[in-house]
């Protein structure tokens, strides 16, 4: 019989938890886009990792290959990702939900695959480096200012602050926009597209807008994830990322933006906290175990509490 | 310029008739396209390379088709998009590995055990997961995410037990058979033979046996079939046996042909399988057969034109094209979209 | 071809300019069957017209074709002088031609008041660009829309339920909500699919009064499918009868009810044997 030993001082390892915070925050942003699509519009977007990849690579290529300023590349790449959302949405959004899920996964894999094989453009599996010089400079300045309040020794702290500020701003914006008349049309589409059409709403246009916004938000989450690693490579955009995004979504609850934040924090705490449990298993096995747990969470949640922690049962409708 | 004015309308009319004939028979159009492509490749790249790739295409086509059949059967009957299907292939391959390499049984026996084990796994998921969810009228997203969760659990359980290092089945990768200046590995030949035999068997079962007819009835209209006295529970179970069993076999065949086995092979194949299923028309077993073969051939032919690392992209491109141009696929009916 | 020998229709009232809706030889096919098999009819501006017929006559199918939810094989549909043949449903709705559904499409996952406010036309806040750059316009319109929604809910007796999820409404209440919601659109032409089904007679009478008032005061035109013959006879200016995908009779209520072809069509439908008498 093995004894589980939990190393308590590890729990207070600030650097570690800042890293978790960055991941949780970035995934929360990623899932905000999914929430808009799935929870509020009823479109089952499984290509979010693809938009993330387009945004990240567009940014990286603009900075490294074309000398564009990092700060300018960010909004430009976001627009490129949104354009991709429109491009893929035009043919795909008229498909039925299950076909839409399949075609969006295929699209995301195409992007990742292209990133892997178009080596001259993207660096292939070796990845893209050197796009973050401006950010690092800025980050160090922020660190210096933080030093004046005694928080200057954490390298990732500026990134954490950036991620969570962006997350909160986006959450507020998205809530505003979803509770508006525009958002009301989305919610009607979510439940019954024909009802919306019969009332004069151009359903296709709304779905396209929803997808484009989600693509932009996905791109933004991508920037934070690649800044975290200082490196862009195709492995960061595997379907696993989208599936984890959905895990965040269903944990926190459909149709709840705050739920997304809670879901992200819970999921990443769970995933990373397992590092501290001293199981008599190799690191590889622990990694597998973590994902088995994620899978079980998905299955059990969907079976017994599909609305998640904060979701509302009455709003659990997806007209398909 | 006036010569033959009287015959021109007749020519136009027969052109239009021919076009209409073709428009109603997409499989014929695709077959013609492939024939034209084949001829073009023979002319530009040479007979031998094209023929060799065609042989390779049949090999991969056989396990694509076998993998796709299961996916489409489950969708047809239960309208379930099973993202865990690829991991059924992986499961089958690992069971075969376990019993052939670790335990020492002959590969044929191990493969049979693998098929049975995967079939059992499929039925298990039906009893434990899908039937209760059907009773609760679960929605699309719920089911999709459950299949994804299942995929996570399956793949990572295999990884937990067997680790990530690549394994190989104890197959003959050296000897090959030569004919007409073409080479096919001895193992590959066996793979094609078994694959096609099983596929033909399944096709015949669906077409001629009472069981097959009931499966097709259920696939056409579940509610209608259940009120006409068909024992839906039994047919659904049988569907899972065929679907999961063929997936397990496809996994074994794939690993035999390719040589290496890792926990990810199934998921890696899954998108090509979806491409085959959708190309053929989702829910249609014959479509999956045709789709698998076409994808296999297309992938191998593409290596004549572009670097082999782009092979897998062919599947994605076909998938996206089909969904844009003709979402119901080759054999599907218009109303299904 | 259609046989629409009109029975004592006043020819002057049906001059082209007074026809709000003009339908000619519409065909809609499903599989091998023509659910609508060459239907020709017209609706006079400002009238209340009933569309009746035995089950399976193609009435709802025709509604779906007229409002853009089904794509017809052939024919012509002209609304207010412009063709709406094969136009998209939301475009037709925006032109003021609005419909309700036989199986209601009340949006259960939204509160009743939201259902109503959703339907209001000219809400700039429904357009993303306007929402972001002119938020005040949106807020102003929301106030107006909310006030109007509450008024209408009052007419239909649903005020108490305004903040509840529409999913908690009874079947009859959902029908009322759907009707109220359709009226929120400020339509010119309302197509109602069995509006009286499942509604108690008192409330039904109120509805009919409201319809009459809308016709008198705002010139709204109504076309409704109904099986309740009392309602049809007592409250419509004109009755169009469909059977087997075609219009077989068309005229004043009393005349149509005695038309032998109409009686025949209903006698052929066992559920409705008593209805035509």
* Interchain contact, A188 vs C118, CB within 8 Å: yes
At residue A88 the predicted structure's pLDDT band, cuts being 50, 70 and 90, is: very high
Nearest by CB: A97 against B133, B140, B316? B140
Length of chain A: 320
* Interchain contact, B324 vs A91, CB within 8 Å: yes
Query: How far apart, in whole angstroms, are the C-alpha atoms of residue C37 and residue C25?
Result: 8
Q: A186: nearest CA in chain C?
A: C126
Interface of B with A in 239-278 (CB under 8 A): 267, 271, 274-275, 278
Interface probe for B, chosen from A42, A103, A255, A317 (most Cβ of B below 10 Å), is A103
* Residue A282, SS3 per DSSP: coil
* Interchain contact, A113 vs B316, CB within 8 Å: yes
pLDDT score at A200: 94
Query: Among A179, A171, A175, which Cα is nearest to C139's?
Result: A179
- Mean pLDDT per segment of 10 residues, for chain B of length 337 residues? 53 80 80 88 84 90 94 91 95 93 87 96 96 89 93 94 86 77 83 91 89 85 81 91 95 91 91 93 88 94 87 87 85 60
* Residue A90, SS3 per DSSP: helix
Q: Which two tokens stand for residue B130?
A: 């899908």
C12: closest CA of chain A, how far (Å) = 33
B326: closest CA of chain A, how far (Å) = 11
Using an 8 Å Cβ cutoff, are C36 and C245 in contact? Answer: yes
Q: B318: nearest CA in chain A?
A: A106
C93: closest CA of chain A, how far (Å) = 5
* Interchain contact, B138 vs A44, CB within 8 Å: no
* Residue A182, SS3 per DSSP: helix
* Interchain contact, B150 vs A289, CB within 8 Å: no
Q: Which two tokens stand for residue A140?
A: 């160090």
pLDDT score at B31: 87
Interface of A with B in 122-161 (CB under 8 A): none
Task: Write the ipTM.
Answer: 0.88
Interchain CB contact of B137 with A (< 8 Å) = no
Rg of chain C over CA atoms, in angstroms? 19
Length of chain B: 337
* Interchain contact, C107 vs A314, CB within 8 Å: no
Q: Which two tokens stand for residue B2?
A: 């006036």
Query: Among C233, C277, C230, which Cα is nearest to C258's?
Result: C277
Query: How far apart, in whole angstroms, are the C-alpha atoms of residue A215 and residue A30?
Result: 9
Q: A205: nearest CA in chain C?
A: C127
Q: Centre a 10 Å sphere on the Cβ of residue A282 and count the other Cβ atoms it contains.
A: 10
Cβ-proximal residues to A10 (8 Å cutoff; 6+ apart), any chain: A16, A275, A276
Interchain CB contact of B156 with A (< 8 Å) = yes
pTM for the model stands at 0.89
Nearest by CB: A314 against C94, C101, C109? C109
Sign (positive/negative) of CA torsion A281, A284, A285, A291?
positive
Interchain CB contact of A180 with C (< 8 Å) = yes
Interchain CB contact of A90 with B (< 8 Å) = no
Query: How far apart, in whole angstroms, are the C-alpha atoms of residue C1 and residue C8?
Result: 21
In the block, residue with structure tokens 């069971």: B95
C→A contacts (Cβ < 8 Å), by residue, are 67-69, 88-90, 93-94, 98-99, 101, 105, 107-110, 114, 117-119, 121, 123, 125-128, 131-132, 138, 141-142, 165, 167, 181, 185
A285-319 pLDDT, tens digit per residue, is 888 888 999 999 999 999 998 888 887 777 776 54
Angle, alpha carbons B46-B51-B54 (nearest 5°): 130
A139-186 pLDDT, tens digit per residue, is 888 888 888 777 767 788 889 999 999 999 999 999 999 999 999 999
Number of A:B CB contacts under 8 A?
123
pLDDT score at C258: 87
CA distances from A30 to A11, A110, A142 (A): 26, 19, 25
Q: Residue C37 is inside which H or E element, if any?
A: strand C33-44
Strand partners, B179: B182
Query: How far apart, in whole angstroms, are the C-alpha atoms of residue A270 and residue A75?
Result: 33
DSSP calls for A207-275? HHHHHHHHHHHHHHHHHHHHHHHT-B-GGGGSHHHHHHHHHHHHHH-TT-HHHHHHHHHHHHHHHHHGG
pLDDT score at A96: 87
Cβ-proximal residues to C268 (8 Å cutoff; 6+ apart), any chain: C54, C243
Query: How far apart, in whole angstroms, are the C-alpha atoms of residue C223 and residue C206?
Result: 18
The most distant pair of C-alpha atoms in chain A lies apart, rounded to whole Å, by 66
Between helix A257-273 and helix A283-304 the angle, nearest 10°, is: 150
Flag whether pLDDT at A51 surpasses 60: yes
DSSP C251: E
Angle, alpha carbons C161-C163-C166 (nearest 5°): 65
Q: A173: nearest CA in chain C?
A: C132
At residue A55 the predicted structure's pLDDT band, cuts being 50, 70 and 90, is: very high
Interchain CB contact of B138 with A (< 8 Å) = yes
Q: Which two tokens stand for residue C227?
A: 């099986």
* Interchain contact, A103 vs B140, CB within 8 Å: no
Q: Which two tokens stand for residue A36?
A: 């808009």
Interchain CB contact of B320 with A (< 8 Å) = yes
Interchain CB contact of A246 with B (< 8 Å) = yes
DSSP A297: H
The β-bridge relationship of strands C189-193 and C97-99 is parallel
- For chain A, list the contacting chains (3+ Cβ pairs, <8 Å): B, C
Q: What does the pLDDT average to over A47-54?
A: 97
Strand partners, C190: C98, C222
* Interchain contact, A106 vs B152, CB within 8 Å: no
* Interchain contact, A110 vs B320, CB within 8 Å: yes
Q: Digits of tens for pLDDT over chain C (277 positions)?
A: 444 444 444 544 456 668 899 999 999 998 888 999 999 999 999 999 999 998 888 999 999 999 999 999 999 999 998 999 999 999 999 999 999 998 889 999 899 999 999 999 999 999 998 888 888 889 999 999 999 999 999 988 899 999 999 999 988 888 889 999 999 999 999 999 998 888 888 888 888 888 899 999 999 999 999 988 888 888 899 999 999 999 999 999 989 888 888 888 877 655 554 444 4
Interface probe for B, chosen from A109, A245, A263 (most Cβ of B below 10 Å), is A109
The β-bridge relationship of strands B260-261 and B167-168 is antiparallel
In the block, residue with structure tokens 């099983």: B198
Interchain CB contact of A87 with B (< 8 Å) = no
The strand order across the sheet containing C74-79 reads C33-44, C19-30, C74-79, C82-83
Query: How far apart, in whole angstroms, are the C-alpha atoms of residue C213 and residue A216?
Result: 50
Query: Among A227, A228, A188, A200, which Cα is nearest to A318's?
Result: A188
- The region that residue A191 occupies, defined by phi over 0 for left and psi between -120 and 50 for alpha, beta otherwise, is alpha
Q: Centre a 10 Å sphere on the Cβ of residue A159 and count the other Cβ atoms it contains.
A: 22
Interface probe for B, chosen from A41, A245, A291 (most Cβ of B below 10 Å), is A291
Alpha helix segments (H runs only) across chain C: 59-66, 89-94, 112-119, 128-133, 135-155, 171-184, 201-218, 229-235, 253-257, 260-267
Interface probe for A, chosen from B80, B86, B148 (most Cβ of A below 10 Å), is B148
A5-34 pLDDT, tens digit per residue, is 445 555 567 888 898 999 999 999 999 999
The β-bridge relationship of strands C48-52 and C221-225 is parallel
Query: Among C99, C107, C25, which Cα is nearest to C60's?
Result: C99
Tell me what the pLDDT averaged over chain A comes to: 89
Alpha helix segments (H runs only) across B24-84: 26-45, 47-78
CA distances from B197 to B66, B200, B201, C35 (A): 10, 5, 6, 45
Residues of A in contact with B151 (CB under 8 A): 295
* Residue C243, SS3 per DSSP: strand
In the block, residue with structure tokens 């976001």: A78
Q: Which residues of A13-38 are buried (b: 16+ CB within 10 A; e: fewer)?
A: eeeebbbbbbbbbbbbbbbbbbbbbb
Using an 8 Å Cβ cutoff, are C209 and C117 in contact? Answer: no
Using an 8 Å Cβ cutoff, are B107 and B97 in contact? Answer: no
Q: B129: nearest CA in chain A?
A: A303
Query: Among B143, B119, B117, which Cα is nearest to B132's?
Result: B143
Interchain CB contact of B140 with A (< 8 Å) = yes
Residues of A in contact with B317 (CB under 8 A): 110
CA distances from C24 to A66, A235, B45, B310 (A): 62, 60, 59, 55
The most distant pair of C-alpha atoms in chain C lies apart, rounded to whole Å, by 63
């Amino acid at each position: 019989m093995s004894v589980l030993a939990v190393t308590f001082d590890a729990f207070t390892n600030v650097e570690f938890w800042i890293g978790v915070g960055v991941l949780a925050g970035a995934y929360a942003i990623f899932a905000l886009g999914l929430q808009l699509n799935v929870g509020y519009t009823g479109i089952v977007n499984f290509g979010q990792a693809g938009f993330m990849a387009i945004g990240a690579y567009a940014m990286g290529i603009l900075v490294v290959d074309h000398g564009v300023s990092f700060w300018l590349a960010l909004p430009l790449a976001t627009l490129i990702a949104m354009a991709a959302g429109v491009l893929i949405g035009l043919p795909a959004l008229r498909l039925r939900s299950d076909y839409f899920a399949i075609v969006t996964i295929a699209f995301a894999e195409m992007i990742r695959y292209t990133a892997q094989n178009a080596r001259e453009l993207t660096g292939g599996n070796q990845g893209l480096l050197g796009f973050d010089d401006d950010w690092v400079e800025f980050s160090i300045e922020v660190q210096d200012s933080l030093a004046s309040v005694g928080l200057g020794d954490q390298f990732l702290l500026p990134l954490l602050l950036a991620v969570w500020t962006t997350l909160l701003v986006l959450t507020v914006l998205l809530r505003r926009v979803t509770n508006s008349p525009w958002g009301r049309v989305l919610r009607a589409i979510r439940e019954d597209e024909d009802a919306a059409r019969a009332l004069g709403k151009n359903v296709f246009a709304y779905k396209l807008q929803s997808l484009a916004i989600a693509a932009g938000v996905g791109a933004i989450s991508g920037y934070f994830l690649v800044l975290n690693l200082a490196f862009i490579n195709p492995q960061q955009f595997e379907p696993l990322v989208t599936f984890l995004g959905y895990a965040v979504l269903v944990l926190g609850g459909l149709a709840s933006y705050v739920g997304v934040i809670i879901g992200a924090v819970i999921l990443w705490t769970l995933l990373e906290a397992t590092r501290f449990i001293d199981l008599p298993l190799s690191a590889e096995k622990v990694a597998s175990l973590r994902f088995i747990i994620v899978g079980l969470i998905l299955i059990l949640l969907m079976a017994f509490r599909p609305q998640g922690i904060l979701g509302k049962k009455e709003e659990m409708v997806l007209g398909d | 310029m006036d010569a033959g004015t009287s015959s021109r309308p007749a020519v136009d009319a027969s052109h239009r008739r021919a076009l209409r004939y073709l428009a109603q028979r997409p499989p014929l159009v695709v077959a013609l396209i492939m024939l034209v492509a084949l001829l073009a490749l023979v002319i530009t790249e040479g007979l031998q390379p094209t023929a060799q790739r065609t042989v390779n295409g049949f090999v991969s086509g056989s396990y694509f088709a076998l993998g796709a059949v299961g996916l489409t059967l489950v969708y047809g009957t239960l309208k379930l998009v099973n993202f865990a299907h690829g991991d059924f292939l992986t499961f089958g391959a690992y069971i075969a590995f376990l019993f052939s390499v670790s335990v020492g049984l002959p590969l044929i026996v191990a493969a049979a055990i693998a098929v049975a084990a995967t079939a059992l796994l499929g039925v298990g998921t039906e009893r434990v997961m899908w039937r209760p969810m059907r009773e609760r009228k679960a929605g699309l997203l719920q089911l999709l995410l459950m299949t994804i969760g299942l995929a996570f659990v399956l793949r990572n359980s295999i990884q937990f037990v067997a680790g990530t290092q690549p394994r190989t089945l104890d197959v003959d990768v050296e000897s090959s058979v030569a004919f007409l200046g073409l080479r096919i590995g001895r193992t590959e030949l066996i793979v094609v033979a078994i694959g096609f035999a099983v596929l033909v068997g399944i096709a015949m079962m669906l077409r001629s046996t009472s069981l097959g007819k009931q499966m097709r009835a259920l696939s056409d209209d579940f509610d209608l079939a259940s009120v006409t006295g068909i024992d839906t529970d039994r047919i659904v179970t049988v569907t899972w046996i065929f679907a999961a069993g063929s997936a397990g076999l496809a996994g074994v065949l794939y690993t035999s042909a390719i040589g290496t086995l890792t926990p990810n092979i199934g998921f890696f194949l899954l998108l090509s399988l979806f491409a085959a299923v959708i190309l053929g028309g989702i829910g249609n077993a014959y479509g999956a057969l045709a789709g698998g073969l076409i994808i296999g051939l297309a992938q191998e032919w593409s290596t004549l034109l572009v670097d082999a690392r782009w092979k897998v992209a062919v599947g994605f491109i076909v998938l996206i094209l089909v969904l844009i141009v003709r979402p119901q696929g080759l054999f599907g009916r218009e109303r299904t979209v | 071809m259609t046989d629409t020998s009109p029975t004592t229709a006043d020819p002057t009232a049906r001059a082209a300019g007074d026809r709000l809706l003009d339908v000619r030889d519409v065909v809609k096919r499903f599989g091998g069957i023509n659910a609508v098999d060459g239907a020709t009819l017209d609706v006079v501006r400002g009238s209340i017209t009933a569309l009746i017929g035995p089950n399976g006559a193609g009435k709802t199918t025709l509604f779906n074709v007229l409002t853009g939810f089904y794509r017809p094989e052939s024919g012509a549909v002209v609304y207010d002088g412009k063709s709406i043949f094969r136009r998209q449903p939301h475009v037709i709705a925006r032109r003021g031609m609005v419909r309700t559904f036989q199986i209601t499409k009340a949006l259960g996952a939204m509160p009743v008041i939201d259902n109503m406010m959703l339907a209001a036309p000219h809400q700039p806040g429904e357009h993303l660009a306007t929402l972001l750059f002119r938020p005040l316009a949106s807020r102003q319109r929301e106030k107006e829309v909310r006030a109007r929604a509450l008024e209408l809910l009052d007419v239909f007796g649903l005020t108490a339920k305004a903040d509840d999820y529409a999913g908690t409404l009874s079947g009859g209440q959902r029908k009322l909500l759907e009707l109220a919601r359709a009226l929120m659109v400020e339509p010119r032409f309302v197509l109602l699919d069995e509006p009286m089904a499942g509604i108690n007679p008192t409330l039904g009478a109120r509805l009919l009064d409201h319809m009459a008032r809308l016709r008198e005061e705002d010139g709204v035109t109504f076309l409704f499918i109904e099986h309740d013959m009392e309602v049809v006879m007592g409250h419509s200016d004109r009755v169009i009868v469909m059977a087997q995908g075609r219009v077989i009779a068309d005229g004043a209520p009393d005349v149509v009810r005695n038309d032998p072809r109409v009686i025949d069509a209903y006698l052929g439908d066992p559920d409705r044997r008593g209805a035509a008498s």
